[in-house]
Amino acid sequence: MRFVRVIQTPSSSPGIDPTLGHAAWAEATYGACALGDPRRTRRLVQTAAALAATPAVSLSRALTDPKALKGAYRLCHQPAASAAALTAAHRAQTLGSASGEPGVVVM
């Protein structure tokens, strides 16, 4: 039995090419999110890429452009950007990766 990490990043994810850059990883992970407007999905991908590049810092430090930061805050306040909607594509990707394994333990 293999252990599969549920939290996926470009360097540690089963099923994700570890040579992907942060932007490509964010697109692969969140690009399929249906948030009611393609601009919201683009904003999510941009924000995820910035956070993946600098995971130890706050949102305001990861997004140094004031317009990007304000856009991320606006995205967070959209009813369409629920936790379920923001993580749906990521969950599907994780389940797809896990389904190819003979045994999966989620911790």
Question: Read out DSSP for 24-90?
Answer: HHHHHHHTT---SSHHHHHHHHHHHHHHHHSTTS-HHHH--SHHHHHHHHHHHT-TTS-HHHHHHHH
Query: pLDDT tens string for the chain (107 positions)?
Result: 444 444 445 554 444 566 678 899 899 889 989 999 999 999 999 999 999 888 889 999 999 999 999 999 999 999 999 999 988 888 888 888 888 888 877 77
pTM for this model (two decimals): 0.74
The reported pLDDT for the residue numbered 18 is 64
